[in-house]
Structure 1
Amino acid sequence: MTQDRLPRVLIVGAGAMGIVVGHFLSQAEVQVSFLVRPHRAEALNRPQVLYCYNDNQLKTFKEYTYLTEPAEIINANFDYILITLDAVALMNEVGQNLAKTIGQAVRQTSAKVLLGTVFYDLKPWFLQTSGLSTEQVTNALLFVHAYAKKAVALPVHPPTDQNLLDKADFAYIDSLGPGFVVDDSSPTVAKSFTELYNGCGVSTCAIMPAAQLAVSTLPIFAVFAACQLLDWPKFQDIGSKGETWSLAVAAVKEIQGLRICGELGQQAAEATSEAGLAASLTGMEKVMLPLDLQEFYRYHHGGKVNDQDRELLRACLTNGEAEGNPMSALRELVQRVEQH
C-alpha cells in the first residue's frame, strides 16, 4: 500500500456479513470492492440500505465497486481480501478454484487475506489450496449479527422501528463487544487490519489468540444442533430441556477439549456446566435485544448455513477421535441431528 492512495479492500461475497463490514470500512476511508457472482450484480447497482438495531436508524452504503469475474482480481493490487463465504461454498470445486485465483493474485505481493469463513482449522486447508504463506493469511470472525431483510421476517421487539426496518436491504446489531475479531496466527495481518477497521469509528476490531478464537466459536455449534432438535427454544428456557440439553453440554465440553482449543479450552471444559452455559446464553439473548436472537439463529443456523454447521461438527468429531478422545456425546448429537 502506497502513501498516495487509499487502502483497497476486496470482500468476497456481498451477503449480510460482506455488506456490513464493507459499510464499516467505507467509513474508515477505505476503497471497498466486492467480488460477486453475476446474478448478484444487479442488486449492487444501487445503494444498499442497512437498518441498525443499535440506534434504530437507516444507513446508506454506496461507496463501493464490484467485480463479477475472479480473474479480475489478478493484478488489481488489493491490499486486503476478506472472504465471507460459508465453508461449504468455499470448499466446493468453485470455491477451491477461487482460492487458487486468490493465491495467484496475492502471491509475491504485500496483500493480506482474512478468512471470515467459520470452520474447523480452515487456515491450513486454505494455505495448501491457495499456495500462500501463513504470514499472509489470518482467521477472522464477524461478531456483528446481520441478515438480509428479504430472506426472513424476524419478530419485532421494541424499540425497533418497523417502518424503517421494512425499507432496509440488510439489518444488523453490534452489541457483543468487538464487532469483528481477527486471530493472531499472522500478527502482521492482524495488527494492520485491526488498525484499518478501527478507523471507522462505528465498530471495533480486536485481536484474539488463535486458540481463544477456536474456543469462542467451535463449541457453540453443538448448542445450535441441540436448538434444532428442540425447535429453537428461547435460551432462557433451554436449561430445562432435559436430556437433549445435557447431551449438548457434554458435546460442548468435548469440543472445548480439542487440541485446537489449547489449554484455554481445557480450562473452559472444566468450568462449563449445564446451568452456567444456559445462563450465559440467556444473558447474550438479552444483550442482543431488540434482535430476536433465537429466531435469527433459526434462520441462519437452522437453514442458511446448516450444511456448513453439520460439516463443522463432523470435523470436530473426526479430529477428536483422531486425538484419542471418545467424543461419545458429540457422536450421539451428530447422529440425532442427521436423523432429524
Structure 2
Amino acid sequence: MKRPSVLIVGAGATGLSVGYHLALGGADITFLVRPGRASALQSRPPLYCYDDAALKPFDGYKVVEGTDELAGESFRFVLVTLDGHASRTDESVAMLRGLGDAIRGTDAHVIMCAFGMGVRQHYLDALGVPDDRLSHGFVGTLVHQTAADLPVNAPTDPARLARASVAYKHPANKGGFRLESGNAEAAKRFAELYNRSGVSRCLLMSRGLDEIFSDSGSPVYMAGAIAGWPDFTTLVADKELWRLACRAQGEIMALPKNGLRGKLMARLLGPRATAKVHLTMEREMLPLDYQAFNRFHHGGKVHAQDVEGLRTCLTEGRRHGRPMTALATLLERLDAREAADHRSATAHG
C-alpha cells in the first residue's frame, strides 16, 4: 500500500515537530524550504521531547528549495507553517502562488498554520484553490528551536537538548495538533494519519470555535509582554492588567461575526476562568518554562502576527460601532512598553 505523502512548507520548529509525528504515522514527508536552507537539514538532527527527556531521531524525508521542484509530485496534504505576518510578504505570496500552481490540478488539501482575521481569504486568493481545499490548523505542543536558550529545568537533560534541533512538550491531553473541521472528510483523514503515531493526537474543533480562539488568544500574551513576562501567578495577581486583558479578549470573542457562540464564550471566559486555563498550562508544561516560552514565541517569533491580529480586530469592532475600549487600551499600553524598552536599549547600546 502506497504511503501517504505530505508536503510541509517550512522546516522550523512547527514543520519538524509535525513532520516527525506524521512520519511516525507512516507518511512520506517532503519539506519545501527557502533557497539555501536545504543544506542546514543535511545532518538530520534529532528532536528533543520534554515528555520523556529523550531524543527522537527523524530521517528519511526529502527537501526541496522551490515550487518548481514539485512538478509531477502528488501530495495528500500540504501544511504551510508560515505565520500570518510572514504569509503576506512578497516572497511568501510568490511562493504561495507557485504552490497553488503545483497542486491546483491535484486533490491535495492545504492546512495553513497562520493566524489573523482575513488570513484565510489571503491564502485562498494566493493559492487559487476553492474554499473546501483549505483548513486551519496549529500545533498543540509547545515547540521551539533549541537555539532559543530557554531555562533548562530538571529533569531535562541539557546534553541531549543541545544535540537536538527543536524541542517539544505535549499538554496533558497529548493534543499535538489541532485542526478545524470545516472540511469534515479532510479533517478526518488528516487526524487518522497523525494519530497513527501512537504518541500524539490531532484534536478536531469546529471552524467557528477555531476562528474565535484564533482571534482572541493574544491579549493574555500581550499582558505578559506589558508586565515583563512574569509567571502567571504574578501576572494574574496584577488585577488591573489581567482584567484589562480579559476584557479585551471578551470584546474580540463578542464581535458580530462570532454570533451568539462568541457572546457566550466572552461571558464564560472571564478573568477567573482564563487564569485557570493558563495556570494549568504553566503546571502541565513543566519542565518547559511556559512563560519563558511565551516570551520567546509571542514576544518574538510571532509578535508581529499577534499585534497585527489585534489591530485588525480593533478595526473590525469599530466598523460595527463597538468602542473596543479594553483592546484599544491594551494596545496603547503595549506600544508604551515597547517604546520604553526601545529607549532603554538605545541608551545602553
* TM-score class normalised by the smaller sequence: over 0.9
Mapping for residues 114-133 of structure 1, pairs under 5 Å: 114-133=111-130
SS class of match (1:87): coil
Query: What is the CA distance between 1:40 and its match in structure 2?
Result: 1.9
- Cα distance, 1:189 vs structure 2: 1.8
Residue from 203, 213, 216 that aligns with 1:216: 213
* Further displaced range: 35-44 or 247-256: 35-44
Gaps spanning 5+ residues in structure 1: where?
none
Partner of 1:296: 293
TM-score, normalised via structure 2 length: 0.92
Q: Give unpaired runs (5+ residues) of structure 2.
A: 339-349
Equivalents in 2 of 1:99, 1:72: separation in Å?
14
Q: Cα distance 1:252–1:39, how it changes in 2: closer, same or farther (>3 A)? A: same
3-state SS, counterpart of residue 167 of structure 2: strand
CA offsets 1:97-145 (integer angstroms, 9 cap, x no match): 1221122122132111001112224222211222110111111111111
| Cα distance, 1:190 vs structure 2 | 1.0
What does residue 14 of structure 1 align with?
11
Which SS does the other structure have where 2:237 is aligned? coil
Match of 1:174 among 167, 170, 175: 170
Alignment of structure 1 residues 122-271 onto 2, 5 Å: 122-150=119-147, 152-177=148-173, 178-271=175-268
* CA 1:108–1:20: 2 relative to 1, 3 Å: same
SS at match of 1:38: coil
* Mapped partners of 1:13, 1:208: distance in 2: 24
Percent identity among equivalent residues?
35
Normalised TM-score (structure 1)? 0.94
Structure 1 Cα separation of the partners of residues 229 and 279 of structure 2: 13
In structure 2, C-alpha distance between the alignment counterparts of 1:173 and 1:261, rounded to whole Å? 31
Distance in 2 separating the partners of 1:260 and 1:287: 33
Q: Structure 2 vs 1, CA of residues 317 and 75 (structure 1 numbering), >3 Å: closer, same or farther?
A: farther
Residue 73 (1) aligns with residue 90 (2): no
1:338, distance to aligned residue in structure 2 (A)? 2.5
Relative to structure 2, which stretch is displaced further, 289-298 or 205-214?
205-214
In the alignment, which residue of structure 1 is the partner of 2:39?
Answer: 42
Q: Look up the SS of the partner of 1:154 in the other structure.
A: coil
Which amino acid in structure 1 is aligned with residue 163 of structure 2? Answer: K
Task: Letter of the 2:155 partner, please give it.
Answer: P
CA distance in 2: counterparts of 1:286 and 1:16, whole angstroms: 22
Q: What is the SS of the residue equivalent to 2:121?
A: helix
8 Å CA contact 1:47–1:62 kept in 2: the answer is yes
Which residue of 269, 277, 289 maps to 1:280? 277
Shift in Å, 1:256: 1.2
| Partner amino acid, structure 1, of 2:244 | L
Q: Using the alignment, how far apart are the partners of 2:258 and 2:282 within structure 1?
A: 25
Q: 1:148 to 1:323 in 2, by over 3 A?
A: same
Write the distance in 1 (CA, Å) between the matches of 2:72 and 2:145. 32
* Kept in 2: contact 1:137–1:189 (CA 8 A): no
1:101-112 alignment runs, 5 A limit = 101-112=98-109
Give 1:53's aligned residue. Answer: 50
Q: Size of the alignment, in residue pairs?
A: 336
Paired position in structure 2 for 1:90: 87
> What is the aligned-residue RMSD (CA, Å)?
1.5
Give secondary structure in 2 for the equivalent of 1:218: helix
Relative to 1, partners in 2 of residues 1:206 and 1:274: Cα closer, same or farther, differing over 3 Å? Answer: closer
Which moves more between the two structures, 168-177 or 226-235? 168-177
1:312 Cα offset (Å): 1.0
Q: Distance in 2 between matches of 1:146 and 1:89?
A: 18
Pair 1:327-2:324 in alignment:
yes
